[in-house]
Amino acid sequence: MSMSDEGELAIANMGFVRREQLPPQPPPRRMTGPIGWVRENLLSTPLNIVLTILVALLLAWVIPEIVNFLFIDAVWTGMDRDACREVVQHREIGACWPFVWERLPYFIYGSYPGPERWRVDVFFALLAVAVVWTLWLGAPRRDIGMVYAFVLMPVASFILLHGFEVIGLPVVDTVLWGGVLVTIVVASVGIVASLPLGILLALGRRSHMPAVRLFSTIFIEFVRGVPLVTVLFMASVMLPLFVPDNFEPDKLLRALIGIALFASAYMAEVVRAGLQAIPKGQFEGAMAVGLTYWQRMRLIILPQALKTTIPNIVNNYVALFKDTTLVFIVGIFDLLRTIEVARIDPKWAAPVTSTTGYAVAAIFYLVFCYGMSRYARAVETRLAQSDRR
């Protein structure tokens, strides 16, 4: 009797035996779909359950208030303060939107002269094109986009915004600039200037040339040791005391330089952290194939270093974007300052005016900062795919 016969016999003696595998059962309903997600993410442990309840209570408390203020109780039309006052309207009053609506041009352009405001609109359009062209991966000819964004666009914007008599654009003094315009100009100059300067400073600090290293170290440590407010204040108040009378460096320019230098010092430390995370083998391998210093950095080291530091770089950018509000210290009217000025206007004086103004500022900064961090997350995810191979 062969082995298989013995097996057949054994099976025959056992009544019923399933010959093929059962089809897999779907997981229990409680473990999949929305219910499963909730159980796994919100209610997985006792601590988690407590936290979930606390957060839910918090949201239930905050969100209706915000929705009430911004929409349900809000005033949508009106000519002056009476529209937004409880004692006149005899009802609960939320956000005073007609105030924002009337002051919106001021929030966007500041005191930029009325007939010239189209120039600011064109600048916003140029900037939007630059942002999309360089940041959207599907855009065609992104190499030209880079040249456009970093060379053509800044030059064109400067001519456009500041003016150039020869081609018939009257000069608009930067004292008149304000609102979103100033916030965007200051933030983009800071963002664009700080990365290259920061990389150079970071490389300088790790350099083997003592003079370069010393300069970079002193610069970084000095700038990081001083608050931004102080840098701006020095640039704005003290500088004019030590230059000749007729030479008056532009106030906005002074602030821009101050912010660019300040941001690059912080950026340098972020990039340096990335450089230190690169294994020594990468440097040695690059040297072994005969690359020069700049080739090594450009082709091997920096791409890896920058990739690891993307979250920190974006973190810096978000902080910088919000730090631009500090230029009000030197008498430049950024968005927040124009809102502060508008809320003082007696025409719209009402208890809700200030709150409405600050809500607008909060929404603006939230949208921009959240946008930046979402984009950074997307880039991170894309770059991380190469590590998962």
Partner 1 sequence: MKKIAALLALAVLVVAQSASAQTLKTVKDRGILNCGSNGTLAGFGLPDAQGNWTGLDVDLCRAIAAAIFNDPKKVKFVPLSAKDRFTALQSGEVDVLARNTTWTSSRDTSLGLNFTGVNYYDGQGFVVRKALKVNSALELNGASICVQQGTTTELNLTDYFRSHNMQMKSVTFATANEAVKAYDAGRCDAYTSDASALYAERLRLANANDHIILPEIISKEPLGPMVRQGDDQWFDIVKWTLFAMLNAEELNVTSKNVDEAAKSDNPEIKRLLGTEGNFGEQLGLTKDWVVRIVKLVGNYGESFERNVGQGSPLKIDRGLNRLWNKGGIQYAPPVR
Smallest separation, CB 266 to partner 1 (Å): 26
**Residue nearer to partner 1 on the CB measure, 109 or 321:** 109
Reported as type and span, the H/E element at residue 260 is helix 251-276
**Residue nearer to partner 1 on the CB measure, 102 or 380:** 102
Cβ-contact 346, 191 below 8 angstroms: no
3 state DSSP class of 334? strand
Burial class (CB in 10 A: 0-12, 13-18, 19+), 112: buried
Smallest separation, CB 362 to partner 1 (Å): 16
Query: How many Å is the Cα radius of gyration of the chain?
Result: 30
**Residue nearer to partner 1 on the CB measure, 236 or 309:** 236
Smallest separation, CB 75 to partner 1 (Å): 15
Q: Which residues, in sequence order, are bridge partners of residue 334?
A: 179
**Residue nearer to partner 1 on the CB measure, 227 or 285:** 227
Smallest separation, CB 330 to partner 1 (Å): 8
Q: What does residue 290 show for φ and ψ, rounded to 5 degrees?
A: 85, 25
Degrees, nearest 5: CA angle 276-278-282: 135
Closest CA to 311 of 274, 280, 276: 274
Smallest separation, CB 200 to partner 1 (Å): 33
Degrees, nearest 5: CA angle 109-185-342: 35
Site of interaction with partner 1 (CB under 8 A): 81, 85-87, 102-103, 105-106, 109-112, 114, 173, 175-176, 178, 233, 236-237, 240-242, 245, 248, 251, 329-331, 333, 338, 340-342, 344-347, 349-351, 353-354
Reported as type and span, the H/E element at residue 333 is strand 333-334
Closest CA to 127 of 152, 95, 108, 163: 152
Q: Which residues, in sequence order, are bridge partners of residue 179?
A: 334
Burial class (CB in 10 A: 0-12, 13-18, 19+), 142: middle
Smallest separation, CB 346 to partner 1 (Å): 4
Smallest separation, CB 90 to partner 1 (Å): 11
**Residue nearer to partner 1 on the CB measure, 28 or 244:** 244
- Alpha-helical regions (H) of 136-167: 142-147, 153-162
Smallest separation, CB 152 to partner 1 (Å): 29
**Residue nearer to partner 1 on the CB measure, 266 or 348:** 348
**Residue nearer to partner 1 on the CB measure, 36 or 240:** 240
Give the span between the Cα atoms of 138 and 289, in whole angstroms.
33
**Residue nearer to partner 1 on the CB measure, 186 or 193:** 186
Smallest separation, CB 143 to partner 1 (Å): 40
Smallest separation, CB 376 to partner 1 (Å): 35
Cβ-contact 238, 228 below 8 angstroms: no
Give the span between the Cα atoms of 306 and 304, in whole angstroms.
6
**Residue nearer to partner 1 on the CB measure, 108 or 376:** 108
Give the span between the Cα atoms of 186 and 260, in whole angstroms.
9
3 state DSSP class of 23? coil
**Residue nearer to partner 1 on the CB measure, 52 or 111:** 111
